[in-house]
Amino acid sequence: MKIVRLRQETEFKFDAVLVGKDPMNVIVVEWEQNANQSTLKQVARKIQSFAWSIYSQKKHNLVTLILVLPEMPFPDKIRRTLGNLNGSARLFLLSESDDPKQMEAELNALVAPAFAMSHKEAVGFVQLQELMKGIDAGPILTMSESSASDDELKSKLLERFERLASEVEIALKKP
């Protein structure tokens, strides 16, 4: 997924807007300080307006809201309050206090099903992390996040490895 910026002239401001390989799915991330009813209704109206704005442009994007709250004492009550999003956006609720495994489990529905992935994609990020244990992967992750396609990432990695190989050759030639 990549973070996209909405045009400045748009009236909508969100904490983050993400799109993946399938541009039909737009994911909006909103972080709210409290879960009172008026705040939740305000978020719901904002998301509905955003979804209708997209639809009015003859676009049929699916809007997904990931709402992050400090705590969620009554998730069912929150879902009922946001029930009017049905038909305009999908809803995922996350609590700041959730551990990463809980968040991953909650957001798992956003991942394409295995039958829709190539074998290479099905290997997944977890296996990549496992292969790279003990290696500083920061630069590689930065490259992958800034790449628009697999080919662009391959090109960046190849350039990086060629540069490293050149540096090693130069270092070996020095007395």
Same domain, 8 and 33: yes
Same domain, 105 and 135: no
pLDDT digits (tens, 9 = 90+) for 83-138: 888 878 888 888 888 888 888 878 877 776 555 555 555 445 555 556 666 667 67
Same domain, 99 and 128: no
pTM of the full structure: 0.59
Same domain, 107 and 128: no
Domain span at residue 62 reads: 1-111
pLDDT confidence band for 157 (50 / 70 / 90): confident
pLDDT digits (tens, 9 = 90+) for 35-62: 888 888 999 999 998 888 888 888 777 8
- Give backbone dihedrals phi and psi of 6, rounded to 5 degrees, phi first: -80, 150
Q: Hey, what are 54's tokens?
A: 């997209």
Same domain, 5 and 31: yes
Same domain, 132 and 104: no
Same domain, 37 and 96: yes
The DSSP code for 97 is T
Residue type, 131: L
* Dihedral-angle region of residue 134 (phi above 0 means left; psi in -120 to 50 means alpha; beta otherwise): left
Q: How many CB atoms lie within 10 A of CB 52?
A: 12
Report residue 147 CA to chain centroid gap: 14
pLDDT of residue 123: 47
The total domain count for the chain is 2
Cβ contacts of 60 within 8 Å, gap of 6 or more:
24
Q: What is the mean pLDDT of residues 20-27?
A: 77
